[in-house]
Structure 1
Amino acid sequence: MTRIDLSGGLVVVTGGAGSIGSAVAVQAAQAGASVAVCDTNYEAAERIAEEIRSNGGVSEGFHVDVTDATAVREIMQRSVGELGEMRGLVTAAGLLRTGPLATQTHQDWQQMMAVNVDGTFHAVQAAIPYLKAAGGSIVTMGSVSAFIGSAEGGGYTTSKGAVLSLSYAAAGELAPQGIRVNNVAPGWVDGGFTHQALEASDDPEALRKRACALHPLGRMAAPADVANAVVWLLSDQAAFITGSMLLVDGGFMIQH
């Protein structure tokens, strides 16, 4: 069996304490990468890093607000200084605010754009000099939301559409520098935003059943399902793949 090998390089994960980001961090470490777990919640990021270290890996937790371009640049520099040459970047930091377009507040809209779009741009831009030095890979976190209309999800849909377009633009621009850029688009994931919705729901079991039924495979993605795709795209097994969008959606988009 061919094993994914990320040894000898650093993978930086923004949103690294979230359900998908932490799964990516752990799997990247299992594949041999040193991992910078970056999140606004430093304590949670450091817990993930400690889990990696306790299993023999190399990792550090870092506090970063991806909406702050200067802070992102500083964290990239610190990560490389402490953990070695950068091999990959995963932009898993994300924010969801729901509400009808007619009444969604400007603040909620701006916050989603600041984290999901600006945050992705800041991380990609800051990583370019380090990835350019050795060649490397960027995986941005998208969503099936980029392709569909959904009640009360217009802001999030817009932000994920922008992330996908940014990924395509970056892939074309950075390919001559040896940097690959791809986007992973999950359907409903059993973690993160879904768990928030379940906690807020009057009938969480009905919501869970409805979410599972949206996917022809009959379940939501586990965070590890998404991480599997991300880590593969980071690896040399995907060396001729750039500018692609990979659906990890259990068949969700077949119906659209």
Structure 2
Amino acid sequence: MKHIDLNGGLVMVTGGGGAIGSAIAMESAQAGAAVAVCDINECAAKKVADAIQRKGGKATAFRIDVRDRNDVDAVTAQAVEQLGPLHGLVTAAGVLRTGGITTQGEEDWSSVMAVNVDGTMHAVRAAIPYLENSKGAIVTLGSVSAFIGSNDGGAYTTSKGAVLSFTYAAAGELASRGIRVNNVAPGWVNGGFTHQALAISDHPDQLRDQAKQLHALGRMAEPTDVANAVVWLLSDQASFVTGSMLLVDGGFMIQHKS
């Protein structure tokens, strides 16, 4: 069976210092890619890049503010200059701000849109000229939240719905330029936002059990579960896959159709 091979190319990961982003960076490096680990938290990005280097991989950390188009353009150019031709982009940068539709402040709403939606668009726009040369691939990070309602998740749900629609638009526009664009939508993940929720919960064990029960497989995803799907979509094994949304949700959606 053919193994996933990302040798000879650069994978750029925004949000690369986070739980999911770092797993994507690590798995991309294991598949042979050079990795640009990009995050607004430069210290977190450097820890991931260092870990890749200790395992014999090639990686460099970059501070990036995905809200700033000029910064994204500059970091993308630096990454290509230092690490070689860009073959893959993963937009894993994201924030979660909870609040009801009538109670959430404008600043929190705007920050979610600026990072999750505008940040995705900025990264994709910056990468297009490089990916057109390599006939590369883009994977955006979505969420099952795009398909469900909740009492205090309106901003995040809206942002992930927008990211999915943007993915479809980009896939249609960029196919003629040889660039594939897909979306990976996880359920609850054992890391990142889930750990933030557990840290402030009065009943973390109960919350963890509830999160597990939301999935037909009876557990949350590990970050590597999401990373494996992303790396596959970046690879030639998915060469005829574009404009798709891949649920990595352990059966969450089959239990939450309504």
TM-score w.r.t. length of structure 2: 0.99
Q: 1:167 maps to which residue?
A: 167
How far apart are the structure 2 equivalents of 1:223 and 1:151?
26
- In the alignment, residue 81 of structure 1 is paired with which amino acid? E
Deviation at 1:125, TM superposition (A): 0.3
How far apart are the structure 1 equivalents of 2:134 and 2:33?
15
Q: 1:233 maps to which residue?
A: 233
Q: 1:202 maps to which residue?
A: 202
Secondary structure of 1:205 counterpart: helix
How far apart are the structure 1 equivalents of 2:43 and 2:107?
27
Please report the RMSD computed on the Cα atoms of aligned residues, expressed in angstroms: 0.5
Q: 1:178 maps to which residue?
A: 178
Whether 2:26 is the aligned partner of 1:30: answer: no
How far apart are the structure 1 equivalents of 2:21 and 2:147?
22
- In the alignment, residue 108 of structure 1 is paired with which amino acid? D
How far apart are the structure 1 equivalents of 2:141 and 2:157?
13
Whether 2:61 is the aligned partner of 1:65: answer: no
How far apart are the structure 1 equivalents of 2:134 and 2:110?
35
- TM alignment of 1:72-221, pairs within 5 A: 72-221=72-221
Secondary structure of 1:7 counterpart: coil
Give deviations 1:19-70, integer Å, cap 9, x for gaps. 0000000000000000000000101101100110111110000000000000
Give deviations 1:198-256, integer Å, cap 9, x for gaps. 00000000000000000010000000000000000000000000000000000000021
Identity of aligned residues (%): 67
Give deviations 1:72-119, integer Å, cap 9, x for gaps. 000000000000000000000000000111100000000000000000
How far apart are the structure 2 equivalents of 1:106 and 1:240?
41
How far apart are the structure 2 equivalents of 1:249 and 1:44?
26
How far apart are the structure 1 equivalents of 2:151 and 2:192?
19
How far apart are the structure 1 equivalents of 2:186 and 2:151?
18
How far apart are the structure 2 equivalents of 1:238 and 1:73?
27
Secondary structure of 2:183 counterpart: strand
Deviation at 1:2, TM superposition (A): 2.6
Q: 1:12 maps to which residue?
A: 12
Secondary structure of 2:113 counterpart: helix
Q: 1:250 maps to which residue?
A: 250
How far apart are the structure 2 equivalents of 1:190 and 1:151?
22
Secondary structure of 1:138 counterpart: strand
Secondary structure of 1:221 counterpart: coil
How far apart are the structure 1 equivalents of 2:252 and 2:47?
33
Flag structure 2 segments of 5+ consecutive residues without an equivalent: none
Secondary structure of 2:181 counterpart: strand
Deviation at 1:150, TM superposition (A): 1.2
How far apart are the structure 2 equivalents of 1:86 and 1:138?
11
How far apart are the structure 2 equivalents of 1:55 and 1:160?
34
How far apart are the structure 1 equivalents of 2:81 and 2:155?
37
How far apart are the structure 1 equivalents of 2:204 and 2:99?
19
- In the alignment, residue 216 of structure 2 is paired with which amino acid? P
